[in-house]
């Protein structure tokens, strides 16, 4: 994308099915984004360059997804002053707990907003990105309110269906 507001970086193409959840949210809200693959360990110079150049390209925040040692979000946060949202990937010997700990235990001074492990975390990363962007984009704010209202209406509909089924 030519003018992305969000950069999604994942450590491996195996993370793509999970990170498509974040991409879907951004697409639904009309947020321009770009997805890239770069590894903190296998391509550290490329990763540092992506992070360092993001702000100059108009990116406002970065979503970083990785599993296992999960240093990607922290490496990116160290190379930029943009907000970084981390998404730990499931799998590996510890089912993603290692990735969660690696992201959430960043040293003071290099913050990474860390989401849940896996698809729920990727979805929430997209939503959190929209919330951050909504601070300066009223159209995203309005869409976010509508999204929340729709969720509430769906819960009410499901409860009404449950109550109607119990009445029989």
Average pLDDT per block of 10 residues along the chain, 168 residues long: 89 96 98 96 94 97 93 96 97 92 92 97 98 96 96 96 89
Handedness of CA 66, 80, 120, 117 (dihedral sign): positive
Q: Is 15 annotated as a binding residue?
A: yes
User: Which CATH number is 111's domain given?
Assistant: 3.40.50.1970
Q: What is the largest CA-CA distance in the chain?
A: 65
The verdict on residue 69 lying in a domain is: yes
Q: Is 12 annotated as a binding residue?
A: yes
Same domain for 114 and 55:
yes
pLDDT at 162: 95
Q: Report the C-alpha gap between 6 and 2 in whole angstroms.
A: 11
> What's the pLDDT tens digit per position in 95-129?
999 999 999 999 999 999 999 999 999 999 999 99
Is 82 within 8 Å of 110 (Cβ atoms)?
A: no
The verdict on residue 1 lying in a domain is: no
Would you state the structure tokens that stand for residue 49, as one six-digit string? 């360059």
pLDDT at 69: 82
The verdict on residue 34 lying in a domain is: yes
Quote the number of domains for the chain.
Answer: 2
pTM comes to 0.94
Q: Is 14 annotated as a binding residue?
A: no
Q: Report the C-alpha gap between 45 and 49 in whole angstroms.
A: 6
């Amino acid at each position: 994308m030519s003018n992305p507001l969000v950069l999604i970086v994942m450590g491996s193409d195996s993370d793509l099915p999970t990170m498509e959840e974040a991409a879907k949210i951004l697409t639904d809200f009309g947020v321009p984004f770009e997805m890239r693959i770069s590894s903190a360990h296998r391509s550290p110079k490329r990763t540092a360059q992506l992070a360092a150049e993001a702000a100059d390209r108009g990116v406002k925040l970065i979503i970083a997804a990785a599993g296992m040692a999960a240093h990607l979000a922290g490496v990116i946060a160290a190379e930029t002053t943009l907000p970084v949202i981390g998404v730990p990937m499931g799998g590996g010997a510890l089912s993603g707990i290692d990735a969660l700990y690696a992201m959430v235990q960043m040293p003071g001074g290099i913050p990474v907003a860390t989401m849940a492990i896996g698809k729920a975390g990727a979805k929430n990363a997209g939503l959190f990105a929209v919330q951050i962007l909504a601070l300066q984009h009223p159209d995203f704010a309005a869409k976010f309110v509508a999204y929340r209202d729709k969720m509430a209406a769906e819960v009410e509909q499901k409860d009404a269906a449950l109550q109607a089924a119990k009445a029989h």
